[in-house]
Structure 1
Amino acid sequence: MARADTAAIAGGVPGVVLMEAAGRAVARAAMRRFRPVRTLVLAGPGNNGGDGWVAARLLEQAGWPVVVAPLALPRPGGDAALAAARWRGPVVPFSAAEAARAGLVVDAVFGAGLSKPVDGLAADVLGAVRCPLVAVDVPSGVDGATGEVIGFAPNAALTVTFFRRKPGHLLYPGRALCGETVLADIGLPASVLPAIGPRAWRNGPWLWRILRPGAASHKYARGHVAVAAGKGMTGAARLVATGARRAGAGLLSVAAPDAATAAVLRAGDPGVIVAEDRAALLADVRIGTWVIGPGLPPDEGTRALLRETVSAGRQVVADAGALRAAAGDPAALAGCAVLTPHAGEFSAVFGPPGADRPGAVRAAAAATGAVLVLKGADTLIAAPDGRLAINDNAPPWLATGGTGDVLAGIVAGLLAQGMPPFEAAAAAVHVHGEAARRAGPGMLAEDLGSVIAHAIATYWLD
């Protein structure tokens, strides 16, 4: 946001105009959602505080009872100092007592670019709030780049941000602290974006395209996916197969490790091809995409299969056992197209992601040359070139056993149809969330199959 402000100001938009627009957006959002009550504006010394001074003035002009409590006065000569000088209302101490008796609090203490922990007096005052809180840009203490809490952060009922959402609005725990997030236009021109060169986006169909099957399309044109099944864990392969087929793959083969496993698999969906000769499947150049890992043990046999498949030039989606087999050895995953770890698998291979999860997944993608999908409530999709998508459409009931296998299948199904790895992974994650929303609370992984195709169809482009 600071870079966008700087670019806009350099392009002729006065900073004080942007600050007035931001404060106006905060005041309007508060007036639309709350009735007039004793309102306390907590103002920091920077531009975030300047937005708060403006909001206070506009709320008071609208007849609201408003007081301002500055943590510190703005630097003289800056835009925030000008905004503070225009305030003619009451100024009260920045204290826990004032926070506790307010009917509404506007948190304009620190913004998204916070670099030090919120502690001491600031934490005490924010922690004393007992009423709805409106955050300016982000709740103070939330890192706008990672969503992590630096020291203390309050729980906002409403967050008003500007120009574009920040990663911290989409990533937990920050996302949970923002409450309702309103994105306000404050006059920053879209022309500043190319100079900034954003490398992170909210995941959605603006990042990828799923083409509607053509009238002349046939099963061979829509790709052939193979899934390596494990002994005694046939359910995982079946779920992968469901995801890939429902995502549009024209053909699906399951490579069984032995005759007994093959017999179990053949008793399942009749449209799935079951083969016991894994080598023959691997030699078939028409089968360009493989899923390796679900239902497989984390052992040398799985590592060998992964190496062999990658060496054969196939696109590989690696999950579960294939990731655990590479514990502590990220190089073993080099050459894969997409990796789909959950937090535990990621930590086993690459080490704990730490506070900067976006940075960690980007580094893992760059190290392996694969697109990295770190699964969770706020799934991150990173490309080796640094692009990052943050997914926010997954409902909480998606967190149930087997759904990750279905996701690996969706990724493979889209890859097989020709989507590039980053786009295929991002689209698959979004479709996965939309399918779960349609399936509804209480869904099982098996329920996703009936709704994936309908979810995909909502994104079809001609």
Structure 2
Amino acid sequence: MRGSDSVLTVAEMRAAEQALIDGGTSVDELMQRAGRGAAEWVWRIASGRPVTVLCGPGNNGGDGYVIAQVLHERGLDVVVVAPIEPRTDAARNARGLYRGGMATSGEGRRGAVLVDCLFGSGLTRPLSDDLLALLGGLAASHGQAVAVDLPSGVESDSGAQLNDGLPRYDLTLALGAWKFAHWTMPSSAAMGARRLIDIGIGDIGAAASLSARPRFEPPAPDAHKYRRGLLAVVGGAMPGAALLAAQAAMRAGAGNVRLLADHSHPATPAALVVSDARLDEALGDERIGAVLAGPGLGRDDAAKARLAAALARGGPLVLDAEALGLLERQVFTRETLATPHEGELAKLCETYGISAQGKRAQARALAEASGLTVLAKGPDTVLCAPDGRVRLFAPGPSWLSAAGTGDVLAGIAASRMATGLPAFEAAEQAVWLQHEAARIAGAAFIADELAHAVKPAYARFL
């Protein structure tokens, strides 16, 4: 894992900074690195226009004084609004080096860019009413807003908004490493673009990281349809969802996709093989590289029997939709991916007796308790492995909030697993493929269009 990919808790970030300090880098030098790196972004955005920097009492406020001094040296109209005096040595030192304008309130101050350095990643309590009003007023009187490290009023580890009515930002500048709040709803929705400022923190062996864009390889010169991977999709009472998953899977890398269903459907594409053989016999094909069960499965006794057959087969398995609601508590020792939305994740946690709160904590606890690789999907997607690895993702297009897109995601992930990838890597690639397909499909797409867009999306990763 590259250091820049790491997503750190507050405690991990403090430990990483302390390691730099123990190695001879002073707190003041770290503040200069952070502030000067952030100032470069503010300088570009301001484009010569007035800037207001809101500074709090801690080291995040100290970063703000450094930013303001850089902009002052470059001739910008910059004013620091500091409602509270600095309370750390480094912040006081940075304040002492600042030579520009100062104010204790935002009264009458207007400008092009507000830089929020009021509070950073250590905040765990709501902003006071007066500070919330100050922040909101300044945001309203400036054309753009930039948050340094995190927007004030956001809890770093959970992504919770500690106050109602927090402003929205055009840009958030993470200092040193990503924090969980940068990629976790609801706070991430208000952060605008996100950029990382390097202050010298390397790879500290963190369990969590931001997913990096994958690269695919074309089939080997001697490949054939079975060597590329045979995926079996277990159909059920509602054929549409299974067909969606199969159509996406056909375009996501597997050489052969087979729908195991009692009957075909008028919308079944000619290239999709439909087998109406007894399910246990159909699943006995040793060439099958992975099985997908869940989309359109239903919840009746027949669905339970079909799920039981998929579970009994062995080998790589993807569980989605109705399969997750029917699943009984067990421990998985083979490569098995579960792709729950938030409601299905809550039901699985109930099944496994997990009391954790929040999507990431629930997904991680479920993976550890069940042996499942858990892809908890939604506007903020998190991937957790049984060994403790965690991946977070940049958000996909909001048009993905439509019926059937989860079936498409499951089909993509199952296709990647059928090619021989482990569940964790297959799921990670599936998220990227789904997001790219959504961009290609454009606005107001339906799931069928998303499934067809998987093909050009795949080409972009070669």
Q: Same fold (TM over 0.5)?
A: yes
1:276-311 deviation digits (Å, cap 9, x = unpaired): 311201222222411111111234543443343223
Is the CA contact 2:318–2:337 (under 8 Å) kept in the aligned structure 1?
A: yes
Is the CA contact 2:247–2:452 (under 8 Å) kept in the aligned structure 1?
A: no
In structure 2, give the amino acid aligned to 1:145.
D
Paired residues for 1:326-345 under 5 Å:
326=327, 330-331=329-330, 337-345=336-344
Is the CA contact 1:330–1:367 (under 8 Å) kept in the aligned structure 2?
A: no
For the residues of structure 1 that align with 2:317 and 2:112, how far apart are their CA atoms? Answer: 56
- CA change 1:41–1:270 in 2 (3 A) is closer
Q: 1:420 aligns with which of 410, 419, 422?
A: 422
Say yes or no: does 1:97 pair with 2:107. yes
Say yes or no: does 1:325 pair with 2:337. no
Q: Over aligned residue pairs, what C-alpha RMSD do you find?
A: 2.6
Q: 1:85 aligns with which of 79, 96, 109?
A: 96
Counterpart for residue 174 of structure 2: 161
Counterpart for residue 204 of structure 1: 212
Paired residues for 1:136-147 under 5 Å:
136-147=148-159
Is the CA contact 2:72–2:99 (under 8 Å) kept in the aligned structure 1?
A: no
For the residues of structure 2 that align with 1:267 and 1:445, how far apart are their CA atoms? Answer: 15
Aligned sequence identity (%): 37
For the residues of structure 2 that align with 1:307 and 1:344, how far apart are their CA atoms? Answer: 22
Paired residues for 1:19-98 under 5 Å:
19-75=31-87, 78-93=89-104, 95=105, 97=107
Q: 2:195 aligns with which of 182, 185, 189?
A: 182
Is the CA contact 2:293–2:310 (under 8 Å) kept in the aligned structure 1?
A: no
Counterpart for residue 10 of structure 1: 22
Is the CA contact 2:289–2:417 (under 8 Å) kept in the aligned structure 1?
A: no
For the residues of structure 2 that align with 1:105 and 1:354, how far apart are their CA atoms? Answer: 37
Q: 1:237 aligns with which of 242, 250, 258?
A: 242
Say yes or no: does 1:128 pair with 2:133. no
Counterpart for residue 234 of structure 2: 228
Paired residues for 1:268-279 under 5 Å:
268-279=269-280
Deviation at 1:361, TM superposition (A): 1.3
Give 3-state SS (helix, strand or coil) of 1:222's partner.
Answer: coil
Give 3-state SS (helix, strand or coil) of 1:91's partner.
Answer: strand
Deviation at 1:354, TM superposition (A): 7.9
- CA change 1:88–1:394 in 2 (3 A) is closer
For the residues of structure 2 that align with 1:442 and 1:38, how far apart are their CA atoms? Answer: 39
In structure 1, give the amino acid aligned to 2:187.
G
Is the CA contact 2:331–2:371 (under 8 Å) kept in the aligned structure 1?
A: no
Deviation at 1:441, TM superposition (A): 1.5
For the residues of structure 2 that align with 1:228 and 1:235, how far apart are their CA atoms? Answer: 12
- CA change 1:107–1:66 in 2 (3 A) is same
Higher mean C-alpha deviation, range 64-73 or range 132-141: 64-73
Counterpart for residue 282 of structure 1: 283
Deviation at 1:163, TM superposition (A): 3.1
Structure 1: 5+ residue stretches without partners? none
In structure 2, give the amino acid aligned to 1:122.
L
Q: Which TM-score applies when normalising by structure 1?
A: 0.88
Counterpart for residue 380 of structure 2: 378
Deviation at 1:103, TM superposition (A): 4.9
Counterpart for residue 411 of structure 1: 413
- CA change 1:35–1:214 in 2 (3 A) is closer
Residue-pair matches, total: 443
Counterpart for residue 308 of structure 1: 309
Counterpart for residue 453 of structure 1: 455
Deviation at 1:170, TM superposition (A): 2.2
Is the CA contact 1:20–1:51 (under 8 Å) kept in the aligned structure 2?
A: yes
Higher mean C-alpha deviation, range 313-322 or range 451-460: 451-460
For the residues of structure 1 that align with 2:268 and 2:432, how far apart are their CA atoms? Answer: 31
Give 3-state SS (helix, strand or coil) of 1:433's partner.
Answer: helix
Is the CA contact 1:140–1:154 (under 8 Å) kept in the aligned structure 2?
A: no
Q: 2:259 aligns with which of 234, 254, 267?
A: 254
Deviation at 1:174, TM superposition (A): 2.2
In structure 1, give the amino acid aligned to 2:410.
A
Counterpart for residue 218 of structure 1: 224
For the residues of structure 2 that align with 1:136 and 1:184, how far apart are their CA atoms? Answer: 10
For the residues of structure 1 that align with 2:329 and 2:94, how far apart are their CA atoms? Answer: 52
Deviation at 1:87, TM superposition (A): 2.5
For the residues of structure 2 that align with 1:250 and 1:88, how far apart are their CA atoms? Answer: 66
Structure 2: 5+ residue stretches without partners? 1-12
In structure 2, give the amino acid aligned to 1:227.
V
Paired residues for 1:338-417 under 5 Å:
338-350=337-349, 356-417=358-419
- CA change 1:450–1:263 in 2 (3 A) is closer
